[in-house]
Structure formats: structure tokens, C-alpha cells
Structure 1
């Protein structure tokens, strides 16, 4: 065969039908270029209940309000790149501190700008919803952030009606260093801030914090519910689509 016309006459045209979308919750996720932990954590939670479709937005890794605010300029474009032509059920933005600095409503609008009328979440919105779901009013906060990020975190929690009874901070200044925090350091910090705090719950902030695997152990040791950014956002993404996240072994929130 020397021509495309000869090839057309030779090839066999086959009929086909189209199957519906895979029957599980579809979550569109915009995460940071510096995040090393969120995908690994969610891979453990998804099972057959949800599928994750993601892209990334540039972040300098500097833990300052100014650098975090700049992330906003890339969120919509990153959202547009997610699985073109495939409808999502919910959109998620994977940065707790940027959601605090940029603002929850603005993040939601940027995420869904070209995605239609679907819900959106982020770790900060999700964490607050999780606190209410668990009936917690007094919150202990474990933060890897510097003071300039912790102050708006504190202010927004108190403005939302929660009592921040203690806040322990590691003061880390680069996002890529947060993922390197050891389990031993987290346990030692909780030993310092939780006893006699009167907290109903401990929030361990940051999607880059590798704490998901230790939540059950922490809950057993301190007899207190643990919410981390990655557990909260998965729970909330499922909740917003009318589903209950069920992930045994990852703490009370994901195993109610």
C-alpha cells in the first residue's frame, strides 16, 4: 500500500459503544510544586471510594505570607489542566497555610472558575468542618510554620468560634523541610503541648507533614482525636459529594 486511500480501503472499521464514567467520587486536586506528602497520603485513603486527578501550582517554598499569597495567581490555570474533558465531583486545593493567607472563599472561586457549579475544599476549610463534625471547641494546634503564618491561623480559628488552648510551633521557614519532620519530633512536641491543655482535639497542620500514618498511635496514646490537613481534606471532599469517607486505621475522623 502506497497511499492513504489504499490503506483506508484495507483497514477494518470497528463499531464501539461508550461506557459511563468510572463509578467512584472524582476529586480534582491542585497541589503545590513543593508538596512531597499529600499524594502519598491520599493513595492510602482512596481505595475504591474515590479517584484523584491532580496538577500542581508553583510555590517558592518560602513560608511567608507574601510567598503564600502569590500562589493564588496560578490556581485557576492549574485547575484547568486537570483531566481535560472529565467532569469532577469536587475540587480541592492542597495547601493549608496558603488557604489561610489567600482566603477560603477566594481559593474556592479560583478552583472552580472553569469547572462549573461543583463544591470546593481546602485543608483549612476542611479542618474547621472536621472540628465541628467531631464536636470539638477547644483546639490544640501543632504547627510547623513560623510566627507570621501562625498568627493568622490563630486569629481565623478564634474568629470562627474555636478556642485555641495551646499552639506549639516548629518555626520552619521552607515548605520542603516540613516533609522531613520525624515522627519522634512530632511525638515529643505533642508530649509538651497536650498534657493539661484541656483540648478536645489536636490539629496537626500542613499537607506536607507526614503524620497520617501515626494518627491512630497518637490518638491511642493521648486519648484525643487527631485531625491533620490531609485527613481533613479527604474527609471533607467526600462529605461535600454526599459520601462518608471510610478509612479504618487513620483516626476517628475517617472511621466514624
Structure 2
């Protein structure tokens, strides 16, 4: 049939269909997530953990990426302090139709450096009623909920960043007798973090678990592909396992007053919030 012939045809019957409206996807809660532009893992793991009836997850990205020269620089406090520049716009872009009940900011080390009070202030400049979480605040909340007292720490961070995060955990009253960081003498872990295999993460957790008297192991960094191996690691090691992405998803749900017990993502998802 020629294009000319198609244009000459007309639709003969049109119907007006009545419809009903409901609460949409997020009938229980809307969770908004701001993800760093180079993050390869958080979005994937969050969608797996937060696929729950009535829970809507929307996200935006923040940052403009790094130049080749910038990508050669190791992670530093100075770089982390700039991570959430442009946060107002990123929050506004999460969902222009409905505000988020909870806003989750996705970078463990940057959130630790900037601090939860400052991040909450920035979010509430845009969404005054939103509850706010970030991976480091969520890890601290998870440690309280699980009653953790002695923690092993695994991360891809340089020593300066890892030590600062460990001090933050210890300030919350939890001892950290052992820590391990991923290292590659010929590469830059900052760029390779999302490609560290789950097998390597499992090996690091087991090594830390076997080397000290612990009740919990924390796997820090949203780039770590750890969520899918948490159950197995808890069974193998007998320890509680917390990852950045697992903690932020759990914390966002609990802040949204979703108290469902969800299997498959570790014992943390069996717990409710505990007051600090």
C-alpha cells in the first residue's frame, strides 16, 4: 500500500472510554534516590531490593562526570566535598509530579564527609517534609538495629577515607578491630570499584571474619556489588553483614514506615529502626 493511499484513509469510529484513577505505583510510599553519575551498582541493587507492592522508586543523577585527568586522581576529602554540588536541581528532577516521602542520597564516603545534618538541610530546602537518608547514616542505623558491637570493615577506599569512616563508626559506640581495603598496585581502585567481583568481596569478608572476634562485617561503598551475596555470607561466616546499598534501601523503607520483613537481603531486613 502506498504512503499516498494511507493518507487518504480516515478512522471511521472513535470512542470515548471512561476510566478510573487510583494512587499509582507508590500507594504506600515514594522513595526518591539521587545517584552519583558514575555509579554502576546502586540503581541496579536498589531496584531489586525495593520491588515491593505499593513502593515507588524514582531517581535522578548528579554530577557531570570527570575528565580523563580527574579520573587519574585518587579519592580525596576535597573531591568528596564536591560530590553533592547541584543537589537542589537533582532532587527536583527525581519526580516533578509528586514529592518524595524519603530522599536517599547515594554516596557513602561523600555523605560521611559532608555530614547528615548538612545533607538534610539541603534536601529540605527543596522538600521540607521529606525524610532523609544516606548510606553512612543508614549503616549507623543498621548497626543500632542489629545490636552490633564489634565490626569488621571492608571497602575500596584509600586509607585516609577508610580511617575517617571507621572513626565515625567508633564514635557511635561500635568497635572496629579490623579493616581491609581493596588494593591494585597497577590500577586505581576509585575507577575499578564497580568492577570488583562479588567473589573478591566474599573473599575479603571471609578473611576479615576469620581474623578477629566480630559480630558484624560492613561492606562500604555503593559501587560494591554485595547485595546478592549477603545471605550466603551470613550463612557461611555466622556474622551479620551490612552493605551500603542494603542499608540505604532498608533505612529508606523504615523511614517511609514500611516495616515489611523481606527475605533474600540479609537479617537486617528483619529489623525495625532503633532510636539512637
Establish whether TM, by shorter chain, passes 0.5.
Answer: yes
SS at match of 1:139: strand
Tell me which of 219, 230, 233 is aligned to 1:204. 219
Q: Which residue of 2 aligns with 1:4?
A: none
User: CA 1:116–1:17 in 2, change beyond 3 Å: closer, same or farther?
Assistant: farther
Structure 1 residue 80 corresponds to structure 2 residue 92: yes
Equivalence map 1:111-150=2 (5 Å): 111-150=123-162
Structure 1 residue 47 corresponds to structure 2 residue 51: yes
Separation of aligned partners in 2, 1:247 and 1:18: 29
Query: Deviation of residue 42 (structure 1)?
Result: 1.4
- What's the RMSD between the two structures over aligned residues? 2.1
Listed as ranges, the gaps of 5+ residues in structure 1 are: 1-10
Separation of aligned partners in 2, 1:128 and 1:209: 18
Q: Which moved more, 1:157-166 or 1:56-65?
A: 56-65
Listed as ranges, the gaps of 5+ residues in structure 2 are: 1-13, 272-276
Q: Which residue of 1 aligns with 2:234?
A: 219
Separation of aligned partners in 2, 1:42 and 1:246: 16
User: CA 1:15–1:156 in 2, change beyond 3 Å: closer, same or farther?
Assistant: same
SS at match of 2:151: strand
Q: What do the CA deviations read for 1:7-41 (whole angstroms, capped 9, x no partner)?
A: xxxx9998876543441321011010011111111
User: CA 1:175–1:78 in 2, change beyond 3 Å: closer, same or farther?
Assistant: farther
Query: Deviation of residue 183 (structure 1)?
Result: 2.1
Separation of aligned partners in 2, 1:32 and 1:176: 13
Equivalence map 1:1-256=2 (5 Å): 18-22=21-25, 23-49=27-53, 50-58=55-63, 60=66, 63-171=75-183, 173-256=188-271
SS at match of 1:113: helix
Separation of aligned partners in 1, 2:183 and 2:76: 11
Q: Which residue of 2 aligns with 1:7?
A: none
User: CA 1:152–1:27 in 2, change beyond 3 Å: closer, same or farther?
Assistant: same
Contact 2:182-2:189 within 8 A present in 1 as well: no
Query: Deviation of residue 105 (structure 1)?
Result: 1.1
Query: Deviation of residue 206 (structure 1)?
Result: 0.8
Q: What do the CA deviations read for 1:201-247 (whole angstroms, capped 9, x no partner)?
A: 11001111001111111111100110101110111011112212433
SS at match of 1:73: coil
Separation of aligned partners in 2, 1:224 and 1:29: 29
Contact 2:217-2:239 within 8 A present in 1 as well: yes
User: CA 1:237–1:116 in 2, change beyond 3 Å: closer, same or farther?
Assistant: same
Contact 1:140-1:201 within 8 A present in 2 as well: yes
SS at match of 2:100: coil
Separation of aligned partners in 2, 1:82 and 1:165: 39
Number of aligned positions between the proteins: 246
